Structure 1
Amino acid sequence: MIDAELARAVSLRESGAFDEARDLLLRLSSAAPDDARVAYQTAWVHDRLGLEGDAVPHYVRALDGDGLSAVERRGALLGLGSTYRTLGRYAEAVDVLSRGVREFPEDRALAVFLAMARYNTGDAKQAVAGLLTLLAETTTDPEIQRYRPAIELYAEDLDRIWS
């Protein structure tokens, strides 16, 4: 029963029927408060509706529970970290997004959102270093690739003076 209703709620969200999906997901959350998948989808639809503050407890419950696939867990970490950042809860955003980067080091979106959160905490040096590393690792631009070793070296210590 939960699986079918959850699939229906996801379909509603994906088709843009956010309010209807939210109503269904809130009912499912009441019926299955320990279901991490329901919590994740409930958080997601709240975020989609611009109800970030209401999304947070659902993300937390999803991440504290069991049953999320790796894709869902990655999405929940990104969603919660991004939501904390949107709400001005920057230190919490850095904590969650750092955990996401440790768990999913290949996920570049997590690294970008972590850089933004680090900037918001006043850690511009780490933010820029992270973005430089990401750029060097992912770009196909031939001019940037030409200077990749230098960019990666500078990213390690932006304040170092070379003499």
Structure 2
Amino acid sequence: MTLTCELDPLVDEVVREQILALWADVSNAGGAVGFVPPVTPEEIVPDLDAALAAVADGRRRLVVGRDEDGRVAATAFIAYNAHRLMRHWVWVYTVMVHPRYQGRGYGRALMTAVEQAARSFDGIEAIRLTCRGGTGADAFYSACGYKEVGRVPAAIRVTPTDDRDDITLYLPLT
């Protein structure tokens, strides 16, 4: 099975609902994408709507990965920097691969598509992203060529007794 990635797909109601379902499934499987399980799709809607509004007004781009049936199986949002001194690099947010496809190369394919997209943007020289410590995501991103450039200890409070590091990773494109 392969993942077919697309930059800036048409986001109709079907795609929106598939992204929402993906986000809920990833979150409820323990994925570090802004929520702690259990979470309902209704709780995710405000974050999804804000991300899609940023795509609609050109502040973010969306990479969607589809499975062999054409369903959304993976996503990543690429955000431009508004600050005049930081417009030469982009942020990557909400990187998700459906749990049923994890371990099959979909994550690597998605990150390759993100890198290809960023390389196609005028003037972009690097990609930055953050991840939650203790999940293994930093090792995955390192395997994709990203280097850890910062870590804030205990910056993410998952539960009152579970604080995690906020890890920043960087991929130069030049």
- TM (norm. structure 2) is 0.28
Greater strand share, structure number: 2
The structure with the larger Rg is 1
Greater helix share, structure number: 1
Q: Relative contact order, CA 8 A, sep 6+: which one is greater?
A: 2
- TM (norm. structure 1) is 0.30
